[in-house]
């Protein structure tokens, strides 16, 4: 059995240290060790995007990342988007457009859309569709989510 490692992360801007199995999934480290349960597990095979987080400013499926590969990295989860009660412009746009229904895909959608707006502050419809292509939603039919991202982009581009 592998020895646990001391994993140093910067999670939502804050230095965090946890003792974990090196092959533990980043998803489980976030949810179970750090109690950041905003990040969801959907398919567990990198297809649905519910577990999407930013790892050193790149979107990844946290269900496919072993903890040891996140050593020393900066991670942004959905908990890192709002400042207290103050929603990011993207989150506010999701609320305004009813871009969430059951809400299970929403954390991944928000992270993927945040990444998109960071890279591409004024995206076309095609760019939004490509930016969110790895995130599945079984409720909204996507139109409201696309509207929310358009609105957030128009209201000031990258949320934070």
Partner 1 sequence: MRGYLPDCDIRVPADLADALALLAAEPGVWTPFAGGTDLMVVYNAGRLKATHFLDLSRLAELRGIREEATHLVFGALTTYTEIRDCRAVHQHFPNLVKSARATGALAIQNRGTLGGNIVNASPAADTPPSLLAYGAELELVSPRGLRRVAYDCFHLGYKRLDLAADELVASLRMPKPTGRSFHYFRKVGTRQAQAISKVCLAAHARIEAGVVAELRIGLGSVAPVPQRARHAEAAIIGKPLSALPIAAAQAALLDDISPIDDIRASAHFRLVVTQNVLGHMLRELANG
Structure tokens at 45: 């095979």
Q: Which is nearer to partner 1, 49 or 99 (CB)?
A: 49
**Pick from 69, 70, 87, 66: nearest CA to 78:** 87
Q: Write down the least CB distance from residue 83 to partner 1, Å.
A: 25
Residues that bind partner 1 (CB under 8 A): 1-2, 21-25, 44-47, 49, 52, 58-61, 63-66, 68-69, 112, 115, 130-131, 133-135
Helix axis angle, 106-119 relative to 143-154, nearest 10°? 40
Q: Write down the least CB distance from residue 118 to partner 1, Å.
A: 12
Q: Write down the least CB distance from residue 63 to partner 1, Å.
A: 6
Q: Which is nearer to partner 1, 22 or 157 (CB)?
A: 22
Dihedral angle, C-alpha 42, 97, 13, 39, nearest 10 °: -10
């Amino acid at each position: 059995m592998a020895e646990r490692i001391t994993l140093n992360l910067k999670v939502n801007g804050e230095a965090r240290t946890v003792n974990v199995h090196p092959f533990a999934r980043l998803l489980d480290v976030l949810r179970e060790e750090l109690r950041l349960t905003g990040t969801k597990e959907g398919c567990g095979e990198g297809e649905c995007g519910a577990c999407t987080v930013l790892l050193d400013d790149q979107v990844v499926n946290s269900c496919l990342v072993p903890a040891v590969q996140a050593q020393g990295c900066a991670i942004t989860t959905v908990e890192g988007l709002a400042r207290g009660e103050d929603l990011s412009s993207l989150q506010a746009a999701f609320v305004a457009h009813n871009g969430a229904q059951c809400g299970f895909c929403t954390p991944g959608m928000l992270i993927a859309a945040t990444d998109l707006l960071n890279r591409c502050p004024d995206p076309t419809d095609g760019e939004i569709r490509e930016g969110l292509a790895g995130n599945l939603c079984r409720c909204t039919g996507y139109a409201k989510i696309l509207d929310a991202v358009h609105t957030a982009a128009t209201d000031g581009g990258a949320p934070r």
